[in-house]
């Protein structure tokens, strides 16, 4: 669950949502909360 926090910060700082999601996928390899991913992409704009 801590990874989610890292992803949020990473995407926010770098601005690369795709890269953050890719890292999250690699670590979890099981998109359990797909809604969270959408939420991250929404404020990405």
The secondary structure of residue 27, as a DSSP letter, is H
pLDDT given at position 11: 47
pLDDT given at position 1: 44
pLDDT given at position 41: 57
pTM tops 0.75, yes or no = no
Residue-level pLDDT, tens digit, the chain, 45 residues: 445 554 555 444 555 566 666 666 665 555 555 555 555 555 555
Dihedral through CA 17, CA 22, CA 24, CA 28, nearest 10? Answer: 160
pLDDT given at position 13: 52
């Amino acid at each position: 669950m801590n990874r989610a926090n890292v992803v949020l910060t990473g995407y926010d700082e770098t601005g690369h949502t795709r890269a953050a999601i890719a890292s999250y996928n690699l670590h979890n390899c099981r998109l359990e909360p797909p809604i969270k991913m959408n939420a991250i992409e929404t404020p990405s704009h």
